Amino acid sequence: MTARGRLRVLLGAAPGVGKTYAMLEDGRRLLGAGEDVVIAVVETHGRTATAAMTAGIPALPRRTVSHRGVALEEMDLDAVLERRPGLALVDELAHTNAAGSRNEKRWQDVAELLAAGIDVLSTLNIQHIASVNDVVEQITGVPQRETVPDRFLREADQIEVIDLAPQALRDRLAGGVVYPAERIDAALSNYFRLGNLTALRELALLWLADEVDQALTNYRSEHGIDRTWEARERVVVALTGGPEGETLLRRGARIAARAAAGALVAVHVTSPDGLRSGNPAALAQQRALAEQLGGSYHQVLGSDIPTSLVEFARSHNATQLVLGASRRGRLAAAFTGPGIGSTVIRESGDIDVHIVTHAAAGATRTLPRLGGGLSGRRRLAGFLLALGGGPLLTWVLYAMRSQESITGDVLSYQLLVVIVALVGGLWPALFAAILSGLTLDFLFIAPLFTVTITDPLHVVALLLYMTIAALVSYVVDRAARTARTARRAAAESELIQTVAGSVLRGDNAVQALVDRLCEAFSLAGARLVEADVVIASAGTRGQDLARRIRVGQNAELELYGTDLPASEQRLLAVIVAQLDAALEHQHLAETASEIEPIAASDRVRGALLSALSHDLRRPLAAATTAIGGLRAAGTAMSPKDRRDLLETADESLTALTGLVTDLLDVSRLQADAMAIDTTPLDPADAIGPALDELGLGPAEVSLALGHGERLASADPVLLQRVLVNLLANACRFAPPGTTVLIATSTFADRVELRVIDHGPGIAPDRRGEVFVPFQRLGDTDNSTGLGLGLALSKGFVEAMGGTLEPEDTPGGGLTMVVALLAVDPTLTGGASERGDCEPGTDGSEPRPIPPEEASE
């Protein structure tokens, strides 16, 4: 049987980190060492350095597949199997094969090569691993269609991360090493943002670290190694659900922090029957704290707490275990023997154990209460059993009495005492013990028919009866109390979970809380009233008012029906506190929503008054002066002076008309009264008219249109006005001798237009100010308008369903990015029956794709 080939995978955080280059470099090294190495498939993507590395390595011809008129080249799997090299270099493990291929995915081709005994060296980006695909989409906003199953990847014999610092990758991208020049700006602004690359790099390293950790765990399991390997510090903190949990977690976190890459693990052991558990609320807070401190939380089942803790610590390769000092008092410790801490220390072996003192340590000084767990009905049943069972047992024993039956009589009465204790608890059991002792003395012990205690053994026997009754009743009472506590905790937990779920799912948290309150306590009705206004209500309120509860400062919660017992008050207080918080949040949201429009209106009103008093007065004064001069001079003015004054008046009135138009547009945008007519539009159809309006040509503006057949959803008139404003600003700030670049591209479901200049740019912390009306950001040139251009442009773009954002231009300057929703050209008759090429700015490698995918 042919031995399976070995798989080695080079994992990268993003395209361009050097995976293919490293694969070819290793291939050349192994080839030089005498290995049989061939190139099964390598994608150079036009990168010169990568293509140069293929020189000297034997390469197998690719298989050409024709799909709807498009010629696609794929790896020839049959040729590789026939050639049977020692090592096959297979690039892009997640690649989707062309239709008609034997396998849908390239990783399936690799599986066949491995099964045939051929070693494979391949490459993969973190975005293509199935288990993290959704996380990558959340980070980058780009869904990835091509994935490799984790189960296949985890079977690889070796996985290496080809690491490159995010800024170094951006530098490579800006230098044209990764993508062609026309796609660099779009790539830097989208998938290859610094934050995206940092997150993807961390994701790749964490995925590999998890793989290494799992491999170590598997190795230790396969070889039966249960002792701790201190590859890194793992600190396990044992939580009981008590008040000491926060102290233990913070101490454990400090211990883990002192070691490089130390891990914090919190664990709570609960019994399989669910009766032994801590405070659910405290455990929930401690779980949140553990995660906040960078650790993880686990809950395990175990009937023996010390053994369960030690087994958990060993299974997680823990190096240190943190426990709290016992909360038992000295008396309880003397009766119950060594505590959990002592047992864990004895069984921990090579795991260091830290016993941490805390405020609750040794706080318990009293013995447990003996009563209170059983209901009154059970105690009554115990008394009735003693009163009925005692005479019946006496009649049977008296009828069968003999000189040798006294031992059986004593044990029979003892059995009766135990049964009464099991049914009714302490007091019925003591009653039965005294009654049976007197009956034994009266009817079965000489002298008969008298109650005479002359023998000290009789006193001892009676005391034994009472002791047995007390011990059995204590056990029964404690079991009943524990069961009741467990049922109560389960019910409260279920109610809190229901309340939380209702609040999270609903739009109105206050109403959801009142609804759940009414349902949980079986009330006839409930309502929340504030200033005589009903905020929320539930139920019918067919019964009398049972209680009023103050909620916050001004609200009251009215409960209708039967008043709640004292046992329900704690849970009711929790829900009332949640109501108070939800009501306060609602008030703050309402106040904010009321204040924001007023504040915005005040800001605009103040700026408008300033503009009217300054900017509008300048063209108005110029026009008035020019017309006044014409009127005063009459026919005495020369034709040239008359023409100059008329031009001045015309220019001033034209400028005044533009300013008034901008002011009206701002008012329409603020009133949400702007008429928008969006249609599928080729961005080039708006760029041309904008250039004509400004009189700009190739000397001032260059174009790089890369949107292909994609159309944008836009209003042609408004988009032209946006481009005019952006181009005017860019040209005004562009250094002499440079041109402004207009570039278009596609990204996910958007069409993006970029107006790029190499001027002074804007500091990142001040970019939001450029969109504020009447704000020139330090520009003191009063001939440029009211400072409404960018504010209007942003409003126009957002009204069309898009966004307008400023970005840094690589090499210095400012790039204004207009992102509009893309329209499928197949729905507008604009599709062509040909292949296309993905732009690659979404983190994918450019490749030919079928026509049906060209619009995705």
Q: Where are the alpha helices (DSSP H) in 84-226?
A: 106-115, 133-140, 150-154, 166-174, 184-189, 194-222
What pLDDT is stored for residue 779 in this prediction?
A: 46
- Indicate whether 846 belongs to any domain: no
- Indicate whether 577 belongs to any domain: no
- Indicate whether 720 belongs to any domain: yes
Q: What CATH number corresponds to the domain at position 56? A: 3.40.50.300
- Indicate whether 664 belongs to any domain: yes
- What's the mean per-residue pLDDT of the chain? 75
**pLDDT reading at 28 higher than 50:** yes
d(CA 444, CA 398): 8
Q: Where are the alpha helices (DSSP H) in 54-190?
A: 77-83, 106-115, 133-140, 150-154, 166-174, 184-189
d(CA 378, CA 369): 18
In tens, the pLDDT along 367-424 reads: 344 445 567 787 888 888 888 888 888 888 888 887 777 778 777 877 887 888 778 7
3-state secondary structure of 275: coil
**pLDDT reading at 16 higher than 90:** no
**pLDDT reading at 332 higher than 60:** no
Q: Are 31 and 53 in contact (CB under 8 A)?
A: no
d(CA 348, CA 98): 58
d(CA 160, CA 201): 13
Range of the domain at 429: 376-480
d(CA 755, CA 727): 7
Q: Which of 267-271, 468-472, 715-719 has the lowest mean pLDDT?
A: 468-472
Task: Provide, rounded to the nearest whole percent, the portion of the chain with pLDDT above 70.
Answer: 72
Is 313 found in the same domain as 203? no
Question: DSSP secondary structure string, 209-243?
Answer: HHHHHHHHHHHHHHTT--S---SS-EEEEEE-SST
Q: Per the structure block, which two tokens stand in for 394? A: 């006496």
Q: What CATH number corresponds to the domain at position 713? A: 3.30.565.10
d(CA 200, CA 222): 33
Is 248 found in the same domain as 142? no
User: At which residue do the structure tokens 């239709």 appear?
Assistant: 99
Is 795 found in the same domain as 772? yes
**pLDDT reading at 739 higher than 80:** yes
d(CA 375, CA 460): 31
Is 387 found in the same domain as 331? no
From residue 382, give the alpha-carbon distance in Å to each of 175, 373, 409, 837: 90, 14, 21, 86
- Give the mean model confidence (pLDDT) for residues 210-228: 53
Amino acid identity for residue 543 in this structure? Q
Is 796 found in the same domain as 725? yes
Q: What CATH number corresponds to the domain at position 293? A: 3.40.50.620
101: DSSP letter:
S
- Indicate whether 191 belongs to any domain: yes
Is 394 found in the same domain as 282? no
Whole-model pTM? 0.42
Cα angle for residues 465, 469, 472 (degrees, 5° grid)? 135
3-state secondary structure of 517: helix
Please state, as a whole number, how many other Cβ atoms lie within 10 Å of the Cβ of residue 600. Answer: 12
In tens, the pLDDT along 157-192 reads: 888 888 888 888 888 777 777 776 656 666 666 677
What pLDDT is stored for residue 118 in this prediction?
A: 92
Is 683 found in the same domain as 666? no
Question: DSSP secondary structure string, 593-625?
Answer: HHHHHHHHHHHHHHHHHHHHHHTTHHHHHHHHH
- Indicate whether 290 belongs to any domain: yes
- Indicate whether 711 belongs to any domain: yes
d(CA 790, CA 787): 7
Is 320 found in the same domain as 458? no
Q: Per the structure block, which two tokens stand in for 309? A: 């803790």
- Indicate whether 315 belongs to any domain: yes
**Residues 160-178: b if buried by 16+ CB within 10 A, e if exposed:** ebbebebeebbebbbeeeb
Is 153 found in the same domain as 182? yes
Is 761 found in the same domain as 713? yes
Is 216 found in the same domain as 149? yes
Q: Which of 569, 579, 555, 621 is nearest to 782 (CA)?
A: 621
What pLDDT is stored for residue 106 in this prediction?
A: 92
Q: Per the structure block, which two tokens stand in for 575? A: 């829900």
Is 718 found in the same domain as 639? no
Total number of domains in the chain:
5
